[in-house]
Copies of this chain bind each other. A is one copy, B any other.
Amino acid sequence: MVQAKRWILTKHFEGFPKESNFQLQVEELPEPKDGEVLLEALFLSVDPYMRPFSRVRMKEGDVMIGTQVAKVIQSKNAAFPAGVHVVGRSGWRSHTISDGSDLTPVMPDWPQDVSLSLALGMIGMPGLTALYGIEEVLGLKAGETLLVNAAAGAVGSVVGQIAKIKGCKVVGSAGSDAKVAFLKELGFDEAFNYKTVASLEEALRKAAPEGYDCFFENVGGPFSSVALPQMNDFGRIAVCGSISTYNDTQPQTGPFPHMTMIFKQLKMEGFMQSRWNTKHPESLRRLMGWLKEGKLQNREHITKGFENMPAAFMGMLQGENTGKAIVAV
């Protein structure tokens, strides 16, 4: 018998999430049955997508959605023997009984000197999102200029680094001077603090007077309306996120993009990394390879304690994190 903690969504978010949207519950878990395993969470992920997905994938009273790196501590499933590490879609739970259908073993030959938490970040969903956005959606080519916003976040920071590996000029927008300094460390060619520039339009133009060939969109909203006219002809836009609108109670509005899209013959595509899941194993190996070669640098923003999940989630939505936001149990 194990005492398991879990975080419930008590009420759907209205506007920015509040403490009162969450409730911590404790339950006694039974022994795993045949085919089942008992998991203990080591690291849990808090990601922007949880805000909009809470509305479409959850009902009030459900355990908050999310992935975690967990250790199998009891096993009656030969595919997941005790002691192995997995990435589980278990939600915000300290311990979980699973039949294995929602588990993926952590990549084989995971290096000892790389934290397993990266399986939730650069060598996990956010890293794959960056990679597929660049390769499958944008088709980014050497010599092109790429714009990425929320650039110091879990996805954006990998986007910019992969674009540098591919021989591109990279411009990043972020929300603090410390984040801008971080982007420069990562090798971004240009970076600015969108909260303090006098004019976003001028900042974008100054960073790339030649215009943008590709735009990795994590922010949406008014930022998109300013960036779109600075795309070059035949520019491509990978729509990965829209964090500036996730907490709207009334949808924000902006000018329609159609005229700009026609005149410049732009292509804009929304995507989720799951579309290419047959490529995941090979893609994770490539990401790990770049990390080991020193071509990718990792940064995490770690919150300690399972009881701090809501605070970590809300902090991430407010941009407190540089790099991947992780909760370490």
Contacts and interface: CB of A to CB of B under 8 A. Distances in A.
Contact of A242 (B52, B242, B258, B268): B258
A85 B300 CA distance: 69
How many copies of this chain sit in the oligomeric assembly?
2
A255 interface: yes
Interface stretch (A87-95, A162-170, A188-196, A259-267): A259-267
Nearest to A49: B262
A129 to B, nearest CB: 11
Interface in A250-274: 251-272
Interface residues of A, number: 34
Interface of A is mostly: mixed
Contacts of A217: 258
Interface string A105-140: 000000000000000000000000000000000000
A270 B264 CA distance: 7
A283 interface: no
Given A267-B267, A267-B269, A269-B268, A241 B262 contact: yes
B242 A259 contact: yes
B253 A255 contact: yes
A319 interface: no
A73 to B, nearest CB: 36
A245 to B, nearest CB: 6
Contacts of A252: 255-256
Contact of A256 (B254, B262, B263, B269): B254
Contacts of A253: 253-256
Lowest 4 A-B CB distances belong to which pairs?
Answer: A261-B270, A242-B258, A220-B258, A262-B270
Interface of A: 52, 56, 217, 220-221, 224, 239-242, 245, 251-272, 275
